[in-house]
Amino acid sequence: MHIPDGYLGPASCGVFYAVMVPIWALASKIVKKTLKAKQVPMLAIGAAFSFIVMLFDIPVLGGSTAHATGAVLIAVLLGPWASCICITVTLIIQAFLFGDGGITALGANSFNMAFVEVFSGYYIYRLVSFRSSLKSGRRVLAAGIGAYIGITIAAFLTGLELGLQKGSHSPYGIKESVLVMTGVSIFAFGLIEAGVTVMAVKYLQGREGYFEIKTS
């Protein structure tokens, strides 16, 4: 789902940056207030974990790339605002060190993966797991569903953004890119994301002190 430099026109890039700047500022304020000193490494670990998860990506004909993100998992553990920061950090490192994801497209990539995916997945998790105990199976299921829907929405948006650039920057139109990106998510990467999330949540439920550390 990383959009490289050159795939989006400068105007679109500008719009996404403009949207993300206040979100990032808010995330920074909220997380700083609720984060205790000893939890700081958790942010970096979350970002590093997401980085490794995102390494396993494959190109999608007609779209960009498809991969799991771990975004909703991190949101479940640390809260959505912290997850927003983590995923943004991962995207920044990938953009600068590997060119994976453009620096002009950072705003758009963050919007898709660090904002929409995180918050939609997280609130679906909250909805489905409403009032169930922290160690229940419903929580695990909720996290999986949240992750699946979150990543699929992000994939859909990515396809939309790419398709809208037809003629100027993208070789494909909306129909193709949306279909391809969303389809790959529904049938492949959405399931992998859900699977990884479910396994991790189940594992952490059994361990003391790691589940729902919550920074917001």
To other proteins, the closest distance from the beta carbon of 104 in angstroms equals 6
Least Å distance, CB 99 to other proteins, is 3
Secondary structure (3-state) at 97: helix
Residues 198 and 102: their CA atoms lie apart, in Å, by 30
Rounded to an integer, what distance in angstroms lies between the CA atom of residue 203 and that of residue 216? 22
Q: Which is nearer to other proteins, 134 or 209 (CB)?
A: 209
Count of chain residues binding other proteins (CB under 8 A): 55
The single-letter code of the amino acid at 110 is: S
3-state secondary structure of 183: helix
Q: Do residues 184 and 63 lie in contact, with contact meaning Cβ atoms separated by under 8 Å?
A: yes
Please provide the size of the chain in residues.
216
Does 134 bind other proteins (CB under 8 A)? Our answer is: no
Counting contacts by CB under 8 A, is residue 18 touching other proteins?
A: no
The footprint of other proteins on residues 153-212 (CB under 8 A) is 169-172, 203, 208-209
Two tokens, residue 105? 């497209």
The site map against other proteins for 88-127 (x = CB under 8 A) is xxx-xx-xxxxxx-xxx-----------------------
CB of 127 to other proteins, least distance (A): 28
Distances (CA, A) of 83 to 9, 62, 91, 107, 114: 27, 29, 12, 16, 7
Pick one of 1, 53, 54, 60: the residue that binds other proteins (CB under 8 A): 60
Report the alpha-carbon distance of residue 82 to residue 215 in Å, rounded: 7
Q: By CB under 8 A, name the binding residues for other proteins.
A: 4-10, 13, 24-25, 28, 31-32, 35, 37-38, 40-41, 43-45, 47-48, 51-52, 59-65, 85-86, 88-90, 92-93, 95-100, 102-104, 169-172, 203, 208-209
